[in-house]
Amino acid sequence: MTAIVADDLVKDYGDVRALDGLSFEVEEGEFFGLLGPNGAGKTTFINILVGLARSTGGNAEVFGFDVEADYREARNRIGLAPQEFNVDRFFPIHEVLEHKAGYHGIAPEEAARRADEALKTVDIYDKRETRFDWLSGGMKRRFLLARALVTDPDLLILDEPTAGVDVELRRDLWDLVQRLNDDGTTVLLTTHYIEEAERLCDRVAIMDAGKKIEVATPEDLQSRGTDTLVVTLANDTVGVPDLDIEGVYDVSLEGRELSITADSAGGVAPDVVRALDRSGHAIENLDIRRASLEEVFVDMTRLDDDDSPDDQPEATAEASR
């Protein structure tokens, strides 16, 4: 079963084309990441899935239900923790959750039970009588997750759920979401913490300017970046040692640290060691730094920026909080 289908989606806001022919699919049970710089169209895509925005062209389906023609069926299967806080601020938070469950057709007694369970899951049960306004920033994020979970969704959509959240809470949230995914919940995640996507996601889509640039596993994307082999020499040396080795792109020396750029650091390491040995350089330490998904992501979205001079090149990985 396919959890999400995006088929040639277009969304115009006046002159702004927020989505420009976006197509990809997410399989049931996947942990899927949606990465892209500010303004790439991630939230717009999510808004179309949950019926907060109407597409200008193309189609989207959630578990086989068209998000417009079968709005109810599609929406009832989704739990959304949105990027922006949009919560009834004046009610105790457990009541907000009960309303939410009720809105999705869950009977009052069951709704109350689920509200308690969701608050316990995100560890703010002791705040159940408090109103949203009076929660701390991190608790607000937890509450949004509880609200997404209260309907026991098949598809959990998290739009930058860890923006501005402390390290410990981030780890808690990821453990929790990972567990939900292990139990079969499909997860769609957007984040600007690329290492988070690298660790959690089965596959990621990289998008920019409303278009999909790539869909692949994090490992596959990482392998497209270049590695660095860092060799610390035992003794000072004058000038960069001559390393004419196939697969080595660049060699630079800083102090006694030699940085060697290559497609595969592991692949060139034996040749590098032999060459240094032959030229009389003793080695103190050797370290392989693999390309991170973040580096590959920045490269891919920067390449795209070259085609559209209006974009800000610095508007990439960690830009929004």
Ligand X SMILES: Nc1ncnc2c1ncn2[C@@H]1O[C@H](COP(=O)(O)OP(=O)(O)OP(=O)(O)O)[C@@H](O)[C@H]1O
Position 39 contacts ligand X (CB under 6 A) = yes
Q: Which helix (H) or strand (E) is 250 found in, with range?
A: strand 248-254
Burial of 290 (C-beta count, 10 Å sphere; 0-12/13-18/19+): middle
The answer to whether residues 275 and 241 touch, using CB atoms and an 8 Å cutoff, is yes
Give the whole-angstrom CA distance, residue 168 versus residue 283.
39
* Span near ligand X by CB under 6 A; candidates 41-49, 113-121, 253-261, 289-297: 41-49
The answer to whether residues 145 and 173 touch, using CB atoms and an 8 Å cutoff, is yes
Position 151 contacts Mg ion (CB under 5 A) = no
The answer to whether residues 249 and 291 touch, using CB atoms and an 8 Å cutoff, is no
Query: What's the token pair of residue 44?
Result: 């717009």
Contacting ligand X within 69-108 (CB under 6 A) = 83
Distance in Å, CB of 158 to ligand X, minimum: 12
Position 232 contacts ligand X (CB under 6 A) = no
Which residue in this structure is represented by tokens 């705040």? 127
Q: Which helix (H) or strand (E) is 205 found in, with range?
A: strand 203-208
Position 43 contacts Mg ion (CB under 5 A) = yes
For ligand X (CB under 6 A), the number of binding residues is: 13
Q: Tell me, what amino acid is at 26? A: V
Q: Which does 38 bind (CB under 5 to 8 A by kind): ligand X, Mg ion, none?
A: ligand X
Contact track, ligand X, 161-200, x by CB under 6 A: ----------------------------------------
Closer CB to ligand X, residue 131 or residue 211?
211
Interface residues with ligand X (CB under 6 A) are 13, 16, 18, 36, 38-44, 83, 320
Interface residues with Mg ion (CB under 5 A) are 42-43, 83
